[in-house]
Chain A
Amino acid sequence: MTIIWRDRVLFGILLLIGAVWTWLSSTTIPAGYSGSFVAPGSFPTTLGVLLMVLSAIGLAGSELKRVRNGDAEAINMSGLSQEIWGIAATFGFLIVYAVGMQYLGFLLVTVIGVAAFCLIVLRLRSWILIAALSLTLGLGLYLLMNKLLGVYLPAGVLGLGF
């Protein structure tokens, strides 16, 4: 994929988002009660239009660039598989951890989750390091938040989260 094509896709998607946003803002937001002509939908609608205008300028700019410099400059795609791995690892952990916290509670899910991530995803083999990291994060944050700062973290619906 070339840089020009990437910009076309980006600004095209943003133009579409702007159009959908404008349509939703102007059709779904009810009129207010203040009596002012600046209604609750005015600000979001204006922003949607502004996004469309800026995206159109961006599209025009990328076309101008193509006319001037051609469409030969390709995007560096090396390391794409590692990048996808990084995305999957990050969002996979965040989602599983957040969902698990509701059922198992903060302490249990942190100790198990961090240990599992280190072992399976990061492929760490030092049990001491894995135990130290998972217990420090789990117990340390639990004591700091729940006991010292008075900010309570989820205990879990199964009642195992202390």
Chain B
Amino acid sequence: MTAAAVAFEPHSLLALVLGSFFGLAFGCIPGLTYTMALALILPLTFTLEPMMAIGVLVSTYVGGASGGTVAAILVGVPGTPSSAATVADGYALAKAGKASITIAMATICSTLGGLFSLLVMVASVQALSNVALAFGPAEIFALVVFGMATICGLAEQSLVRGLIGGVIGLMVMTIGQDPIDGVSRLTFGNVNLLQGVDLLVAMIGLFAVPQVVSTLFEHKSGSSTIVDGKSVKVELPKLGYIWGYRWNILRSSILGTVIGAIPGTSGTISAFLAYSQEKRLAKNPENWGKGDMGGVVAPETANNAVTGGAMIPMLGLGIPGDPATALILGGLLIHGIQPGALLFVEAPDVVYSLYMFYGLAYVLVTVIMLFGVHLFVQALKIPPHLLAVAIMVLCVVGSYSLRNSMFDVGSMIVVGFFGYLLQKARIPLTPILLGLVLGPAMEREFRTAMIMSGDSYSILLSPIALLFFGMALLVIVMSLVGMVRSRVPKTA
């Protein structure tokens, strides 16, 4: 009751509104992430009361995690890495005139995923944090291998081309400083290359630049389709429509929460795993990637379910699940709140207030997004070639603002050029992205496991690791069987 009273105080609600808008703004703009939003807003919370500061931080986190969807659906450029899996189906649906219902569905599913993870967090924070501790480097490596196996499902028509895409993504991420020994790799003496190619910079280059080229090509050849302003309707999903995706939402929520609870993983990994899982279970997997609502529901539910999952080890053990929760943890410590098992005994009001803030932030972000749909879809009325100009400016601004580095802008242009060439050569872009996302974790965890075990492979044979290796093998075999079957001519 005390927590509820604190959460509903006017200044707490004001903190939630401000944090939500701030997070949403960062999530919507490609290149800006909610981690950056948290890093920027954290110093501003030092002078606030502890509860108000928690409200600002939690709502920024939730707003940022939800905001990336808008750019992914409307312009085909993921606002945050975790919304990258939404691009294929979300953008296709927007082009088919279903932008408003897609944004609304993504918002509602994000909220459902987030609230599910909140409930799990409330019910099992202490028990689940012990499970999270069972994940060492070998188990996380096995999980990442399982994630990489989903390339088989994302390879579109050719498995070889999909695997080549994945390998190219992994190769790009090895450039720069080695994660274990700190030696430089393939930098050729260039100091800027030491920090490597940033994931978000690569994403902007891969997704936005080829799209701008094709928009300008269509403009020049006169084949561009200008959306009739009257045809842009605001349509919100009915309850029955959402209910149709209940199992997708439930499975993706569980997956996102579990992955979020494992330190060192992220919303991006869970989004791709959920996408791949639901595509395999779908009745019409051939429609995925071409505008299937299930392809929006799964990644959006899972990437937001990570937010609650990531709080589990943070609250229960004081271990942040991802960089964003590390910043929230920093904020709590500055205000004299020490997360860990004792927090539940010494300051239960803080824990319950955090839960309340979390739930309220999700409700608030949903309301803002659903009202905002009316405004967002107006972007579709802008002629594509003018939107292309805005996207080019945003590409440069987003790449630059990540690290205030013109080198990142140059990297984005180079990645964009090669991304365009690879796309023309029918190398699918999604496996490249998966390689970029999973590459650093894959190498880091494998090498850490090897060092820990004194170069003995037996460390990879723990029950949890074996479970994930087995699942990876199953995914590969099922994908290969599916591909062979689809190539065998059907006899009447």
Interface of A toward B, CB cutoff 8 Å: 6, 10, 14, 21, 24-25, 28-30, 32-38, 40-41, 43-44, 47-48, 50-51, 54-55, 57-58, 61, 79, 82-83, 85-87, 89-91, 93-95, 97-98, 101-102, 106, 110, 114, 117-118, 122, 129, 133, 137, 141, 144-145, 148-154
- Interface residues in B172-219 by Cβ distance below 8 A to A read 174, 178, 180-181, 183, 185-186, 188, 209, 212-217, 219
**Interface pairs (13), CB distance under 8 Å:** A10-B425, A44-B174, A90-B213, A90-B392, A94-B396, A98-B406, A122-B385, A133-B386, A137-B389, A141-B394, A151-B40, A151-B401, A154-B400
Known: A149-B32, A151-B401. A33 touches B181 (CB 8 A): yes
A151 to chain B: closest residue by CB: B401
For A85, list chain B residues within 8 Å (CB): 216-217, 220
For B138, list chain A residues within 8 Å (CB): none
For B217, list chain A residues within 8 Å (CB): 79, 82-83, 85-86
Once the chains bind, are A87 and B185 in contact (CB under 8 Å)?
no
Once the chains bind, are B425 and A153 in contact (CB under 8 Å)?
no
Once the chains bind, are A40 and B183 in contact (CB under 8 Å)?
yes
Q: How far is the CB of B109 from chain A (nearest CB, A)?
A: 27
- Interface residues in B452-466 by Cβ distance below 8 A to A read 455
For B40, list chain A residues within 8 Å (CB): 149-151
CB of B131 within 8 A of chain A?
Answer: no
For B32, list chain A residues within 8 Å (CB): 149, 151
Once the chains bind, are B178 and A32 in contact (CB under 8 Å)?
yes
Once the chains bind, are A87 and B213 in contact (CB under 8 Å)?
yes
Once the chains bind, are B213 and A34 in contact (CB under 8 Å)?
no
Known: A29-B183, A38-B450. A141 touches B25 (CB 8 A): no
B171 to chain A: closest residue by CB: A47
Query: Which residue of B36, B213, B406 contacts A102 across the interface (Cβ within 8 Å)?
Result: B406
For B396, list chain A residues within 8 Å (CB): 94, 97-98, 101
B216 to chain A: closest residue by CB: A86
For A148, list chain B residues within 8 Å (CB): 25
Once the chains bind, are A57 and B216 in contact (CB under 8 Å)?
no
CB-CB contacts of B400-424 with A at 8 A, as 1s and 0s? 1100101001100100110010000
CB of B446 within 8 A of chain A?
Answer: yes
Known: A54-B160, A154-B400. A94 touches B171 (CB 8 A): no
For B170, list chain A residues within 8 Å (CB): 47
Apart from A32-B183, A82-B221, A86-B217, 14 more pairs, CB < 8 Å: A25-B186, A34-B181, A38-B455, A40-B181, A44-B171, A50-B167, A54-B163, A86-B216, A87-B213, A87-B420, A95-B413, A110-B393, A149-B26, A151-B401
Once the chains bind, are B447 and A38 in contact (CB under 8 Å)?
yes
Once the chains bind, are B163 and A114 in contact (CB under 8 Å)?
no
Q: How far is the CB of B223 from chain A (nearest CB, A)?
A: 8
For A48, list chain B residues within 8 Å (CB): 171
Q: How far is the CB of B409 from chain A (nearest CB, A)?
A: 5
Once the chains bind, are A153 and B451 in contact (CB under 8 Å)?
no
- Interface residues in B141-170 by Cβ distance below 8 A to A read 160-161, 163-164, 167-168, 170
Once the chains bind, are A133 and B406 in contact (CB under 8 Å)?
no
Known: A47-B170, A90-B213. A97 touches B164 (CB 8 A): no
CB of B349 within 8 A of chain A?
Answer: no
For A153, list chain B residues within 8 Å (CB): 397, 400-401
For B386, list chain A residues within 8 Å (CB): 118, 122, 129, 133
In the complex, A61 Cα to B487 Cα: how many Å?
15
